[in-house]
Amino acid sequence: MDGTLTEAKLKALAGTRSFERGQGYLDAVTGVEIGDGWITASVHGTERYEVELSLEGPQGATGACDCPYGLEGNFCKHLVALGLTVLAQQSTLPRQRESARSRARNLDAWLSALSKDELLALVREQVGQDRQLRRRLEVRAAGARGDLAEVRARIRELLDIGPFAQYGYVEYADARAYAAQAAQVVAAIDAVTDAGRADEAIDMTVQAIRLLDEAVESVDDSDGWLGEIGAGLAEAHLNACRAARPAPEALASRLVKHALGNADSICDIDPLDYEDVLGERGMTALRKLAVDAWRKRRAGWAEKSLMERLAKAGGDIDLLIAVHAADLAANGHTHLVIARELDAAGRPDEALRWAERGIRETPDLATVDTDLVDHLCERYAQAARLADVVALRREHFGARRSLRAYQQLRAAARTAEFWQDERPAALALLRTEAERGTPRRYGGSVLVDALLDDKDDEAAWEAASHCGADDRQWLELADRVRTARPADALAVYRRLAEPFIGETGNAIYEQLVGLLVSIRECHHLLGTQDELTAYIAALRGAHGRKRNLMRLMEQHGL
């Protein structure tokens, strides 16, 4: 629990606003009950709300509250208040959890001591009071007595989203209740298997998976509850197959059909889990069916995935390589996957050849998977082939001409003690691109960035003046040269400040004041304090109504 529930986690779940509001409700939390993985309490706001924190759900800590905001699926201020209350009792949490476990053990001991008639009376009493419990037991009873028509009807009913979908969609607030109902399907199918009707249980599982897959499209399952039900159905199907022992070839056919035709199913039925049921005959049939399907559609994701799992399960590295090699990505990514598999199999020479082939077969190195370049450079470095590292980095930089590629070339060339010879050609390439005015998707000239990264500030300033730079680069340049060239830096700061002066908003004001502080520093260096005073006075006169701006300027002595 300590690792799951923290103030940071509460703030992430609730958001800053709800977290801050929840801090004001600490005195409103009453009736805290701590169990083994859950916490409940009442929180008094405009009304009394019941809240519950679940600490060990599929997505970690989650919460539910019956306030209007909580019913919409939000982690509300009342949940924050409960979480903070529990965190304040951090030192007592282990004792309280142990107390909850002790109560559970005592209850189990008491139930175990009851006679059959006493237990029946207790169950009947609860069934009469709890409609959901009654429905759960009814569907289990139908499965146990082999009333297959009733079980099939109840499966359809339990997976029907209608009662939970006011507008044809199950909202987050209702998803958990729907999942609790849908989960009863797994118990019903297990009951049919236990009743000796495993063949029918297999068919029921297939029906339930189809209905659940249809339902998923209309349920906000952000917390993953339906995923747990899907896993439960997969286990129920496997258990039924182990009990029924269907014909191996027929089962293999159905498993392959599901794996290839239901790749997006929430129920992950992995054919390899059925090896003990299929036996040698079934596994042989399974492999043949998988290979035949893959040969017909080598680029199919489901076909490739099944073949890869079969190859790995059988330790057949050559088959695995053949599957990958049949559908090579144009950017060399698949070559990298193959190289890594071969490395893991202890075949480094073949791995290296595949990595080099990936570079050769990529039509444009500007689009190559950069992980492939990094992988190959790492292998060259391990073999002390430093000249090859530099050559590959040079080739990659020539194609991409990005700051990152420049940095990697520089690092490689320095290691090989080539950088003094390599740098002029690299900068010349960037200078030619900058002079052409080649548009970039993000930021200004790479030449300026590269020179800044080299800490060659004067050359960067000259490049920016000659070839152009964006505002980010000019700001960094001004900061770098401010002491040596205050007049030039001042001109940059004044220009960058102008667009902000007419705008509003606290974020804008912070940027503007940051520039004004730099402008003040330049005037101090130039000895032109009177000019600064006049500039600030004019700014205050024109924008005095912007109280937040004026307050921020005062804080910085402007």
User: Residue 354: CB partners within 8 Å, gap ≥ 6?
Assistant: 335, 338, 339, 342
413-422: average pLDDT: 93
Full DSSP string of 142-162? HHHTT-HHHHHHHHHHHT--G
Q: Which residue has the higher pLDDT, 438 or 422?
A: 422
458-480, pLDDT tens digit by residue?
999 999 999 889 999 999 999 99
301-346, pLDDT tens digit by residue?
999 999 999 999 989 999 999 999 999 999 999 999 999 999 999 9
Distance CA 272, CA 230 (A): 17
242-251: average pLDDT: 95
Residues in the chain: 558
510-521: average pLDDT: 94
Q: Give the DSSP letter of residue 170.
A: B
Residue 88 is encoded by which pair of tokens? 């304040």
Q: Which of 4-13, 142-151, 426-435, 453-462 has the lowest mean pLDDT?
A: 142-151
pLDDT at 533: 93
pTM: 0.67
Check if the beta carbon of residue 32 is closer than 8 Å to that of residue 86.
yes
For residue 276, the one-letter residue type is D
Angle between helices 116-129 and 131-144 (to 10 degrees): 120
1-11: average pLDDT: 71
Distance CA 313, CA 544 (A): 73
47-102, pLDDT tens digit by residue?
788 888 887 665 667 888 888 788 777 888 999 998 898 888 777 767 777 777 78
Radius of gyration of the chain (CA): 34
| pLDDT band per the 50, 70, 90 thresholds, residue 376 | very high
Residue appearing with tokens 């979480």: 83
pLDDT at residue 141 above 80? Answer: no
| pLDDT band per the 50, 70, 90 thresholds, residue 247 | very high
pLDDT at 1: 41
Full DSSP string of 305-373? HHHHHHHHHTT-HHHHHHHHHTT--TTSHHHHHHHHHHHHTT-HHHHHHHHHHHHHH-S-GGGS-HHHH
93-114, pLDDT tens digit by residue?
677 777 777 877 888 888 888 8
Chain mean pLDDT for the chain: 88
Distance CA 111, CA 262 (A): 44
Q: Which residue has the higher pLDDT, 95 or 424?
A: 424
What is the percent of the chain with per-residue pLDDT over 90, rounded to a whole number?
54
pLDDT at 59: 64
> Which strand ranges, in their side-by-side order, compose the sheet holding 48-57?
29-34, 38-44, 48-57, 60-65
344-355, pLDDT tens digit by residue?
999 999 999 999
pLDDT at residue 3 above 70? Answer: no
Full DSSP string of 483-536? TT-HHHHHHHHHHHHHHHHT--SHHHHHHHHHHHHHHHHHHHHHT-HHHHHHHH
pLDDT at 522: 95
Q: Which residue has the higher pLDDT, 527 or 436?
A: 527
| pLDDT band per the 50, 70, 90 thresholds, residue 441 | low
- The helix (run of H) or strand (run of E) holding residue 78 is helix 77-88
